[in-house]
Amino acid sequence: MKISVYRYNPDTDTKPRMQDYEVKTFQGMMLRDALLEVKKQDETFSFRHSCGEGVCGSDGVNVNGRNVLACITPIGELKEPIQVRPFPGRPVIRDLVVDMTQFYEQYRAVQPYLVRKDPLPEQEILQSPEERDKLDGLYECILCGCCSTACPSFWWNPEKFHGPAALLQSWRFLADSRDQATEERLDALDGPYKLFRCHSIMNCVEVCPKGLNPTRAIGKIKDLMLDKGV
């Protein structure tokens, strides 16, 4: 099988190019296996990867125009010719490795941690199974970046718009019955960009490898803002 991979090394290349490799396939082969095979043939090729089972979020790439996690994308489901490129909209460091600094900064900007103001109990803070269920579909985010780098609003305003991944986490804490910083969180999201640049294009939902729905989370934040009259 032929696989075409985006290559760019700032040390040696003046501009990027696509390079073809011939890769032997096997039953159950994932895109990551194919990239590892490329790496075996040509050690100058760089990409990030680690767990190989879709939980660490390292190996997000763009294949045939779609953002995916390479390790859980079966090669058999991809149309040939397979074209693998770095995430769109991010500065390329080398080959498939992109600079995710802004993505992480937006994540850190939403105060993605539980804030508790009451004195802490000696044992656990109680939470009913129903309250806990509200975190399902939110806490599972692996920060792979597939969503935000597929989002046109994030492409255009990555320094101002938080992007779907960060906003999903913002809602994860707003939705947590234990969190006591609702007002501060909502105040911090005010303004035309941070939250409201989302135009419900829903690319994020389309590509999330964990089946999460950032657009719905963003909608819930907007609803809560209306409720609170912020």
Least gap, CB of 159 to another protein (angstroms): 19
Beta carbons within 8 Å of 3's beta carbon, 6+ residues apart: 20, 21, 23, 34, 38, 81, 82, 84
Positive or negative, the CA dihedral 161, 151, 134, 122 is negative
Q: Is 16 in the site for another protein (CB under 8 A)?
A: no
Contact region with another protein (CB under 8 A), list: 5-13, 150-158, 189-197, 199-207: 5-13
Query: What would the x/- binding string for another protein be over residues 68 to 107, using CB under 8 A?
Result: ----x-x------------------xxx-x--x---x---
Least gap, CB of 222 to another protein (angstroms): 23
Q: Cα 211 to chain center, whole Å?
A: 11
Cross-strand bridge partners of residue 92: 98
Distance (Å, whole) CA 4 – CA 24: 14
Instruction: Provide the strand spans (E) within the chain.
Output: 2-7, 17-22, 60-63, 66-69, 82-85, 92-94, 97-98
Q: Which of 129, 159, 226, 229 binds another protein (CB under 8 A)?
A: 129
Looking at residues 23 to 42 of the shown chain, list those that interact with another protein (rule: CB under 8 A).
28, 39-40
Looking at the Cβ atoms of 53 and 199, the one nearer to another protein is 53
Q: Which of 3, 58, 147, 165 binds another protein (CB under 8 A)?
A: 58
Structure-token match 């909608």, residue found: 219
Q: Which of 120, 159, 226, 229 binds another protein (CB under 8 A)?
A: 120
